Amino acid sequence: MNATDTRTDPLSTLALAEDAFQRARARLKEAEADRYASIWAALTTAEDLTKLRAALPDRDGPVPPRRCPPTRHRRQPLHSARALRS
């Protein structure tokens, strides 16, 4: 069957078009995977990993979480019960 032949069965033409679409889609996915693989390889060179490890904090122990200082006067939100009573 020829895809350009107008005398072919419409279902056959549709099947050929779908097959061509699936092959093009597979090629696009492969190209995208290759692109991401090359980007990842460029980002994870040994030198970059060494610099990253040097920038990390020492592993002497866990770093305590930072806490916000307590506020002295807490303002009540407008929708609070105290605000509604007044």
- φ, ψ dihedrals at 84, nearest 5°: -75, -30
- For the chain, how many residues are written? 86
For the entire predicted model, the pTM comes to: 0.40
| Spatial separation of the C-alpha atoms in residues 37 and 17, rounded to whole Å | 30
Residue 69: the pLDDT is 62
2: pLDDT strictly greater than 70:
no
Structure tokens at 51: 């610099």
25: pLDDT strictly greater than 80:
yes
Angle at 21 (CA atoms; ends 23, 12), nearest 5 degrees: 105
Residue 54: the pLDDT is 76
Identify the three-state secondary structure at position 12: helix
